[in-house]
DNA sequence: GTCGTCGCAGAAAACGTGTTCCGTACGTTC
DNA sequence: GAACGTACGGAACACGTTTTCTGCGACGAC
């Protein structure tokens, strides 16, 4: 553990190397016209002093802060945290640092944070949230890059990243059909949630004739999953495959089926959605589920933001693929 | 949604108010000697232009950045996220912003982040993590306030906040004793985890003669909880109260008991630890558990840091109380 | 031999704010 | 009326870096 003392400034480096501060700056940044020998001498002096340029001074002169704001409406919950981690990862590679802003779904707080971020001269902003419904764009000035992740912007002129919900639901149904299941059902969350609707429509379309019942809407809880399993078994005792709108619902469905004496996956195969490890792995049996790839999305958001900061913006909405993770709830050991 | 244009600088405000820039600064910051009328005129001009002082310029001159670094070893998981939210909350009130640093248990990354934070002239640092074992202090310079939350520092000269693990375990056992349970057991996590050991020792001490078996150590999973329930019932079929080292274990215990035909809480009462809502509420039945109050701890950490920045440091380790949340796993409906 | 060019590095300005110092105008007191 | 204190506001500087402008010496070309 090396103690870190009072930081050296560039004038110290310059003095040690016997050059002017401006020259030292050029040497360390690879700019200007300098002899290789001078450059090297400055570089060694900087290393010797453990010089790290003060980012306030640098930002003041360059107009950049090497900082990005991360605004979430979500209090950093289930969905925004992986996005945040991925973004931090990608941005860290670009020597950027992330400023945290938790707007808690409050437009006033969001506006306040936006002002703060602008006052801090952030190089860009990443916006994320809990819902998949497109949101009103943030009121950022024209020149400031903004990337929306998970929760897209309503404006097609913005840069957004979304999960391929439909593709994920389709892959879940295909998986059951490939396993030879022929009497399918779908259980999902509230009917007024965008994610529920998109996943349901894709699942229903993919199931076609094999669907034994209209999709069931409820809340996102395990309890609802158990209830839905009861309902399904009562109305359609011959159901042999269930795709669910979330892992919580799927876990509840598994429990409900077991309580009713059905074996999973032998009698009924169950597929979840989200790949939330805490739920999916603890379920009995562990859930086959659709992984959202949120961390990859966050990383991509960071990369897109870096590109935009570098002057290579990429407008439009990009859909990120999901991945089906197969576990025991569809394929027994 | 008001569009935010190119930000006004203090010279613009001064020009509009008809004063010199320095005077405008004094007017807005409440310093210097100015006529109330002048102060008000400048204030109105600032409001009219939507002036927000550039924090880079401000930081450069004041030496402060109104920014704190938040270092976690945890990839912002189960424990560090509530702490982070609480801290963000408290600091936001002080016009501070949080810089995110995820060291991932890697000392090299941590050192790198520390350099970055120092280069950014942070006003202070909060350190948190997943484990409760005291950690080696971060190598911050003498003058920089550091607050450790959840994971304390090994040095008693540092400022640390910890959860009252022992008190929590004790309150769980007392609760069962108050309910008239007389044959208790304790199931917890790995024997080499500080949290397991502290909770176990307090639980064992509080249970005294009523303990029917030595505490059982395993991993933190639901699966282990189910296994532990089987073991307990085989060796001590008359057990009537079980305190657990985590909610996941407790949920597993509940499931294991139910699988074996025992009713919770009628035959056996179960208490969890952590109050992780995803687990505790979804459990059958919902878990009575020990809430850690992590968000309050984060808030306290933020407050302590603000105090330290203001020149009122408070060294030493502060223990934060837990709270027993009573649900159906100990008190039936 | 002089002029232009090139390579290199120093001096100075710029970024935006806070703060210190100083001058001025005004009122008070002897 | 002069000396003094006080309220006010302007000018200059500090913070640390980047960048532009300028200068100097050497070298080649005419």
Give tens-digit pLDDT for B12-47: 999 999 999 999 999 999 888 889 999 999 999 999
* B316 beta partners: B159
When pLDDT is averaged across residues B80-91 and rounded to a whole number, the result is: 94
Q: Would you say residue A177 has pLDDT above 60?
A: yes
Alpha helix segments (H runs only) across chain A: 10-17, 21-29, 36-49, 55-62, 80-93, 107-119, 165-178, 194-207, 222-235, 247-259, 277-280, 294-309
Q: Which burial class, exposed, middle or buried, applies to A123 when counting CB atoms under 10 A from its CB (0-12, 13-18, 19+)? A: buried
Least confident of A124-128, B64-68, B76-80: B76-80
Integer Cα distance of B167 and B198 in angstroms? 10
Cβ contact B319 with chain D strand, < 7 A: no
Query: What spatial distance separates the first Cα and last Cα of chain B, rounded to whole Å?
Result: 49
Q: For residue A33, give the nucleotide whose C1' atom is nearest its CA.
A: C8
Q: Which residues of B159-189 are buried (b: 16+ CB within 10 A; e: fewer)?
A: bbbbbbbbbbbbbbbebbbeeebebbbbbbb
B 31-60: CB within 7 Å of strand D:
32-35, 38, 57, 60
Which residues in chain B touch residue A4, judged by CB atoms under 8 angstroms apart? Answer: 114-115, 118, 139-141
Residue A195: name the closest of A128, A244, A256, A259 by CA. Answer: A244
Given a cut of 90, is residue A127 above it in pLDDT? Answer: yes
- Interhelix angle B21-29/B36-49, nearest 10 degrees: 100
Question: What residues contact residue A52 under an 8 Å CB cut-off, 6+ apart?
Answer: A7, B115, B116, B118, B119
Q: Provide the pLDDT confidence category of residue B5 given band limits of 50, 70 and 90.
A: low
Chain A: residue nearest B100 by CA? Answer: A98
| Closest CA of chain A from B99, distance in Å | 5
Model confidence, pTM? 0.93
Mean pLDDT taken over chain B = 94
Beta carbons of A282 and B222 less than 8 Å apart: yes
Evaluated on CA atoms B243, B247, B252, B258, the torsion sign reads positive
Residues 6+ apart with CB under 8 A from B36: none
Q: Mean per-residue pLDDT for B69-74?
A: 93
pLDDT, residue B56, reads 93
Put simply, whether B115 touches A (Cβ < 8 Å) is yes
Q: How far is the CA of A317 from the C1' of C15 (A)?
A: 36
Please tell me if residue B190 touches chain A, with a CB cutoff of 8 Å.
no
Residue in chain A closest to B6 (alpha carbons) equals: A141
Contact status of A295 with chain B (Cβ, < 8 Å):
no
| Record: contact A119-B55, CB cut-off 8 A | yes
Which of B2 and A311 is assigned the larger pLDDT?
A311
Element (H, E) at A216: strand A216-217
Which residues, in sequence order, are CB contacts of A238 under 8 Å at separation 6+?
A: A183, A212
Residue B126 has pLDDT above 50, yes or no: yes
Q: What is the pLDDT of residues B283-320, one digit of tens each?
A: 999 999 999 999 999 999 999 999 999 999 999 999 99
> Percent of chain B scored above 90 by pLDDT?
90
Give the closest residue to B149 by CA, choosing from B133, B124, B129: B129
pLDDT at A288: 98
Neighbouring residues of B91: CB distance < 8 A, sequence distance ≥ 6 = B68, B97, B98, B302, B305, B306
Nearest by Cα to B298 from B128, B164, B154, B145: B128
Measure, in angstroms, how far nucleotide C9 C1' is from residue A246 CA: 65
- A223 to B282: CB separation less than 8 angstroms, yes or no: yes
Say which DSSP state A134 is in.
Answer: -
pLDDT of residue A134: 97
Question: Locate tokens 């089987």: which residue?
Answer: B230
**Nearest-CA neighbor of B218 among B193, B194, B247?**
B193
A212-241 pLDDT, tens digit each: 999 999 999 999 999 999 999 999 999 999
Q: Is the dihedral of CA A300, A305, A308, A314 positive or negative?
A: positive
pLDDT in tens, A261-299: 999 999 999 999 999 999 999 999 999 999 999 999 999
The span from the CA of B327 to the CA of B271, in Å, is 9
Specify the pLDDT at position A3. Answer: 46
Is residue B3 pLDDT above 50, yes or no?
A: no
Nearest to A103 by CA among A80, A133, A78: A80
Q: State the average pLDDT over residues A134-138.
A: 96
Contact between the CB of A31 and strand D at under 7 Å: yes
- Cβ contacts of A137 on chain B, cutoff 8 Å: 1
- In this structure, how many other beta carbons lie within 10 angstroms of the beta carbon of residue B322? 24
A165 and A199 Cβ atoms separated by less than 8 Å:
yes
Q: Strands A146-149 and A124-128: what pairing? A: parallel
What band does B74 get if pLDDT is binned at 50, 70 and 90?
A: confident
Q: What is the dihedral sign for C-alpha B63, A8, B305, A73?
A: positive
- CB contacts, 8 Å: B284 with chain A: 255
| CB of B296 less than 8 A from some CB of A | no
Q: Which helix (H) or strand (E) holds B144?
A: none
Kindly indicate the confidence band of residue B332, based on its pLDDT and cuts at 50, 70 and 90. confident
Bridge partners (DSSP) of residue B320 are B163
CA of A290 to C1' of D2 (A): 92
**Percent helix, strand, coil in chain B (nearest 5)?**
45, 15, 40
What average pLDDT does chain A have? Answer: 94
User: Residue A121, CB, less than 7 Å from strand D?
Assistant: no
State yes or no: pLDDT of B1 exceeds 60. no
Q: Is B88 on the interface with A (CB under 8 A)?
A: yes
Residue B8 tokens read as 């006004």
Query: CB-based burial of residue B111 (10 Å sphere; 0-12 exposed, 13-18 middle, 19+ buried)?
Result: middle
Would you call A76 and B81 a contact, using CB atoms and an 8 Å cutoff? yes
Specify the pLDDT at position B63.
86
Would you call B119 and A53 a contact, using CB atoms and an 8 Å cutoff? Answer: yes
* Measured CA A62 to C1' C11 distance, in angstroms: 20
CA of A161 to C1' of D16 (A): 38
Q: How confident is the model at residue A5 (pLDDT cuts 50, 70, 90)?
A: low
Question: What part of A 167-186 touches B (C-beta under 8 Å)?
Answer: none
For residue A131, give the H/E element and its range.
none
What residues in B contact A278, CB-CB < 8 Å? Answer: 278-279
Contact, A134 vs A156, CB < 8 A?
no
Q: Are the beta carbons of A221 and B88 separated by less than 8 Å?
A: no
Stated in angstroms, how far is A34 CA from D27 C1'? 18
Domains and CATH numbers, chain B: 10-53 (no CATH), 65-163+293-320 (3.40.50.2300), 165-292 (3.40.50.2300)
Q: What is the mean pLDDT of residues A299-325?
A: 95
Report the pLDDT averaged over residues B104-126: 94
């Amino acid at each position: 553990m090396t103690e870190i003392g009072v930081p050296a400034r560039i004038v110290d480096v310059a003095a040690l190397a016997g050059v002017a501060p401006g020259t030292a700056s050029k040497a360390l940044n690879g700019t200007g016209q300098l002899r290789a020998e001078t450059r090297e001498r400055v570089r060694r002096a900087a290393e010797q002093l453990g010089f790290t340029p003060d980012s306030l001074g640098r930002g003041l002169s360059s107009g950049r802060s090497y900082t990005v704001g991360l605004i979430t409406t979500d209090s950093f919950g289930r969905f925004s945290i992986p996005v945040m981690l991925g973004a931090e990862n990608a941005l860290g590679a670009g020597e950027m640092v992330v400023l945290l802003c938790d707007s808690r779904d409050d437009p006033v707080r969001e506006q306040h944070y936006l002002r703060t971020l602008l006052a801090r001269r952030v190089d860009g902003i990443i916006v994320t949230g809990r819902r998949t419904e497109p949101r009103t764009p943030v009121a950022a000035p024209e020149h400031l890059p903004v990337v929306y992740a998970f929760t897209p912007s309503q404006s097609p002129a913005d840069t957004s990243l979304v999960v391929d919900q439909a593709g994920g639901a389709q892959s879940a149904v295909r998986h059951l059909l490939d396993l030879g299941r022929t009497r399918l059902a779908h259980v999902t969350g509230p009917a007024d949630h965008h994610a529920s609707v998109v996943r349901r429509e894709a699942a229903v379309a993919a199931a076609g004739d094999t669907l034994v019942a209209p999709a069931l809407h409820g809340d996102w809880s395990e309890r609802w999953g158990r209830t839905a399993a009861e309902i399904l078994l009562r109305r359609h005792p011959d159901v042999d495959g269930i795709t669910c709108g979330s892992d919580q619902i799927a876990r509840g469905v598994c429990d409900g089926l077991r309580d009713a004496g059905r074996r999973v996956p032998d009698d009924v195969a169950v597929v979840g959605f989200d790949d939330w490890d805490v739920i999916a792995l603890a379920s009995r049996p562990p859930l086959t589920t659709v992984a959202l790839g949120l961390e990859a999305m966050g990383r991509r958001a960071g990369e897109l933001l870096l590109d935009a900061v570098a002057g290579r913006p990429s407008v439009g909405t990009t859909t990120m693929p999901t991945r089906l993770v197969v576990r025991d709830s569809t394929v027994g050991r």
